[in-house]
C-alpha cells in the first residue's frame, strides 16, 4: 500500500523503486529521500514479519532509532 502524507510518499511495496523508501513528490516527479543503505537486513526482517507481535531490540547498530 502506498501512503501519502502531504508531499511525501512512503512506498512499502516498491511501486516506485526499492521497497520501504520515502519519496518527496514535486509535481509529477518523485525524488528519493531515504538515505542509501536503508533498510538493512535486520530492519527488513522486522518489516516483513507476518507475526501479530514482533519484537525488535538489541544493542547498538541495529537501526532501532
- pLDDT > 90 in the chain, percent: 14
pLDDT in tens, 9-65: 999 889 988 888 999 998 888 999 988 888 888 788 888 889 888 877 666 655 555
pLDDT confidence bin for 5, thresholds 50/70/90: very low
Q: What span, in angstroms and rounded, lies between the C-alpha atoms of 54 and 31?
A: 31
Domain that holds residue 30: 2-47
Provide the b/e sequence for 31-43 (b: ≥16 CB within 10 Å): eeeeeeeebeeee
Tally the domains of the chain. 1
Asked whether residue 58 is domain-assigned, the answer is no
pLDDT in tens, 43-52: 888 888 898 8
CA dihedral sign of residues 38, 40, 43, 48:
positive
Asked whether residue 28 is domain-assigned, the answer is yes
Amino acid at each position: 500500500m502506498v501512503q501519502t502524507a502531504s508531499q511525501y510518499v512512503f512506498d512499502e511495496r516498491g511501486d516506485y523503486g526499492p521497497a520501504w523508501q520515502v519519496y518527496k513528490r514535486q509535481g509529477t516527479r518523485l525524488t528519493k529521500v531515504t538515505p542509501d543503505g536503508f533498510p538493512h537486513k535486520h530492519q527488513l526482517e522486522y518489516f516483513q514479519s507476518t507475526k501479530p507481535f514482533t519484537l525488535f531490540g538489541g544493542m547498538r547498530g541495529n537501526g532501532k532509532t
